[in-house]
Structure 1
Amino acid sequence: MPTIDRIDAFADELTAIRRDLHMHPEIGFEEVRTSNIVAEKLDQWGIEVHRGLGGTGVVGVLKGKGSAGRRIGLRADMDALPMEEHTNLAWRSTIPGRFHGCGHDAHTTMLLGTARYLAETRNFDGTVHFIFQPAEEGLGGARAMLKDGLFQKFPCDELYGLHNAPDLAHGEIAILPGPAMAGADFFDITISGYGAHGAMPERSKDPVVIAMTLGQALQTIVSRNVDPLQSAVLSITQIHSGSAYNVIPGEARLAGTVRAFSDDVRKLVRERMRALAAGIAAAFDVEIKVEIRDIFSVLVNQQAQSEVVAEVARSVVGEANVITRSQPKMGSEDFADMLQAIPGAYFWVGHDGDVPVHNPGYVLDDKILPIGASMFARIIETRLPVAANV
């Protein structure tokens, strides 16, 4: 597999960086140690460093040979998840309730590997912006960087990002032109009822019964309101109510997520959620508050940049390992917000292991670090060729 020899030569150093980040995970907007390491490495390699975008975000700027004015952005996320790690790795998390269970430590390391290689070779004509983003896991890190003027300060003509994929075989690269990942809303529903003794339910306005009724009703939105040829998911992932066996509580809360590949479908689901909540509130004579937050946009890969990824992947992993997905992922990624501003593509790098991301037993295969770093580097060398101002 023709990964870049120079990157292969320092693969052990990349593994050491990745495992150090894994041992010291930081969740969204708290990536102080991580961003310090990123900034120090970039500075060490002679790359111009800018800090503080979106809170803990870091951007490195590197100019290549020649005088071409084209600029390409490469993005990696840095944050961990607020969950426990259940592995026996020697480099497992040392911080309770914090775990790089999505592999963002690897994404950060891959981009550092690319930065080191390009700083050493500068075999490109133009400018590369290395974007290290905080808070991808539903906290709005991309939007925070955009609000701080990311692409006004660091303009890009194209943009690329990646994610590890334990559902693919080691060395496989997957890319899907068009809508590739779902947009997502998070919701919180509060039912304000009236509490009573558990033996006297007639004196209550039981929010637990109302929550079960509303929960069932919400499940009809996808099955009875959304066009069957469209994809949508509505999942209630939290139910909170009560504190004793013999007390009917006064309040119940539901929370969860909505996913879809169409903004029109997302709008429909939001409207139906509010309408059902209002109707059930009237039926049971209670107050129901519905808060729905737009967290992730639909991630859309542009055709031209998707073809670039596929072309580069053939040179890095071979034709047989390049996959154009026939179906998009229902998961979400806030890189989507960056792609709404700059044309680009987001792809997946397969690795050994059958435990999915966001599982406490998830393990990343360090052998993919040179693959991801080589993919990013070859994209730059392909799109910003020396002696060709295109």
Structure 2
Amino acid sequence: MDRLEQKILDLIDQNREEIIAAGRDIWTHAEMGFKEFRTAGKFADFLKAKGLEVEEGLAVTGVKGYLKGKGAPGTTVALIGEMDALPIPNHPDANPETGASHCCGHNAQVAGVIGSLFALTDPEIRDALDGNVVFFAVPAEEFVDIEFKKGLMEQGKIGYGGGKCELIRIGAMDDIDIAVGHHTDPAEELVLKNNSSNGFVNKVVEFHGRKAHAAGAPHRGLDALNAATLAMHAIDMQRESFRDCDTVRVHGFISRGGEAMNIIADNVTMEHSVRAKNIPAFTDASEKFDRSIRAGAVATGCGATINTMPGYLPTIPAKDTRVVEEALADVAQTKGYRISYHRADMHTTGSTDFGDVSCIMPLLQFGTGGYRGTLHNPDMLPIDEELAYVATAKIFALVAYKLLKNGADAAHALIESYEQVLSKEEYIRYMDSMKKVETIEPKPLPLLD
């Protein structure tokens, strides 16, 4: 660890109370995706207090601050924190105004990026960086609240349902060369997160039937709930056709199932995700999902609308993770933390829109603990704020510094090792190609009376 790296750690330690306060504040004021207006405002206030050039309202709520001003020469590294939370209103710390909870740990990400400001804006450290740093609070990583996002798309306010996907689309990532991301992991202390992950597409399906009295004259109805039930059975029958190596996952729920127990349902809505390890595999699974929906509609005579929304792409591991490993070691050395390593040969079946970022530029990721419970569950609670927020800030700052010191040699090496999967233009073409609406017309038989 060189002198400025030690100074980074010291500056963050000197501001630990403010960093922890930021983490607590965001934790208790959780907001859903594309609705993170309060969080965005708080983040922007920190950037402006440090005199940074700030852009706001990116992809509805995104906030971007430039350490050396927009357009500064050299390699640009983005430190990215996700602002959104999950719809878990029964969490003890749920925001009563939104029903949202940070059971994803995104509050730690934003607190970590804020904390890195205290070190990287120091004049001596800033001048030692041969390049620029972007502090980026981004919206809507959790692909939930799908009907709300669908509504934003129909209004023309967004093109895609994921925050980073939308930021790529509108060009807000165009001036970034390397992205650095963080994940909360309650099972770990410090962790290199260089594993691959599944990609996915989302489905919103509406079955259209005909109402009737469920006891007095059920034969006069077309039961949309039966159509949905049959479709879900058909989806289950597809599972043996999925290859184990593709880690396909198809899961969802019925978000609207009818109006009353004694009324044949005329309108039923299903929301599902179709995931897999690679694009061909989840494209194949998506087609099998659609034909299952058709089967449910045809068998019952109901109509259906299948709305396919592009989700996220699989995460591509980085080929050179030395700077993250060094940063983890530096922080572990000072606090005695345990380091785990999720390397490129490890795969997880969840998804993140960091995957989309990894397909167009180098992505470095790490994780920190400090929570107990299970991600995405109401038992998730911060129990070690030093680890959750302060250690996260230190790693963010150290990674940026290590990439950009000494003529940005490490950044250049990472960029040189990277093999781009899609250009921005190819990415947009692919995402747009996955936007599909299929309508199946109802074909009821004549009533017998």
TM-score interval (norm. to shorter): 0.7 to 0.9
What letter corresponds to residue 235 of structure 2 in structure 1?
Answer: L
The match for 1:161 is 181
* Helix, strand or coil at the partner of 1:293: strand
Is residue 63–residue 125 contact of structure 1 (8 Å, CA) maintained in 2? no
Larger RCO of the pair (alpha carbons < 8 Å, separation 6+): 1
Structure 1 partner of 2:323: 308
Q: Does the 8 Å CA contact 1:175/1:310 hold for their aligned counterparts?
A: no
Distance change in 2, residues 1:228/1:340 (3 Å): closer
- CA 68–148 in structure 1, closer or farther in 2 if over 3 Å, else same: closer
CA contact (8 A) 1:102 1:357 kept: yes
Distance 1:314 1:48 in 2: 32
1:331 aligns with 2:355: no
**Residue 387 of structure 2 corresponds to residue 381 of structure 1:** no
Report how far residue 151 of structure 1 moved. 2.8
Residues 1:209 and 2:226 are matched in the alignment: yes
Is 1:313–1:322's contact at 8 Å kept on the other side of the alignment? Answer: no
2:33 aligned to 11, 25, 28, which one?
28
Question: Judging changes above 3 Å, is the alpha-carbon distance between structure 1 residues 217 and 55 closer, same or farther for their aligned structure 2 residues?
Answer: same
- Scaled by the length of structure 2, the TM-score of the pair is 0.77
- Where does residue 110 of structure 2 map in the other structure? 108
Q: Which runs of 5+ in 2 are unaligned?
A: 1-5, 144-160, 413-449
| Whole-angstrom CA distance in 2 between matches of 1:209 and 1:145 | 40
Between the aligned partners of 2:133 and 2:181, the Cα distance in structure 1 is 13
Gaps of 5+ in 1: none
TM-score, with length taken from structure 1 = 0.88
**Counterpart Cα distance in 1 of 2:408 and 2:364:** 23
- Offset of residue 358 of structure 1: 2.1
- 1:252-271 alignment, distance < 5 Å: 252-271=268-287
* Equivalent position to 2:162, from 140, 162, 176: 140
Structure 1 residues 237 and 378: alpha-carbon distance in aligned structure 2, compared to 1, 3 A threshold? same
Contact 1:42–1:116 (8 Å) recurs in 2: no
Structure 2 CA distance for aligned equivalents of residues 282 and 85 of structure 1: 39
Alpha-carbon distance between aligned partners in 2 of 1:258 and 1:250, rounded to the nearest angstrom: 25
Q: Which residue of 2 aligns with 1:235?
A: 251
* Alignment root-mean-square deviation, CA: 2.5
The whole-number CA distance in structure 2 between the counterparts of 1:101 and 1:211 is 30
Q: 37-46 or 318-327, which moves further after superposition?
A: 318-327
List per-residue Cα deviations over 1:119-144 (Å, max 9, x = no partner): 01324222111111122222421122
User: 1:264-306 deviations in whole A, cap 9, x for unaligned?
Assistant: 11111111122222233333322222222112221222212x3
Q: Judge conservation of contact 1:182–1:329 (CA < 8 Å) in 2.
A: yes
SS of the residue 1:229 aligns to? helix
Deviation at 1:149, TM superposition (A): 1.6
Q: Secondary structure at the match of 1:219?
A: helix
Contact 1:175 1:309 in 2 (8 A): no
Q: Give the whole-Å Cα distance in 2 for the aligned partners of 1:259 and 1:164.
A: 22
Q: Percent identity?
A: 27
- Identify the residue that residue 130 of structure 1 maps to in structure 2: 135
Cα displacement (A) at 1:256: 1.9
Say if 2:231 and 2:295, in contact at 8 Å, map to a contact too.
no
Select which of 63, 66, 69 maps to 2:74: 69
CA contact (8 A) 2:226 2:300 kept: no
TM-aligned CA deviation for residue 387 of structure 1: 5.5
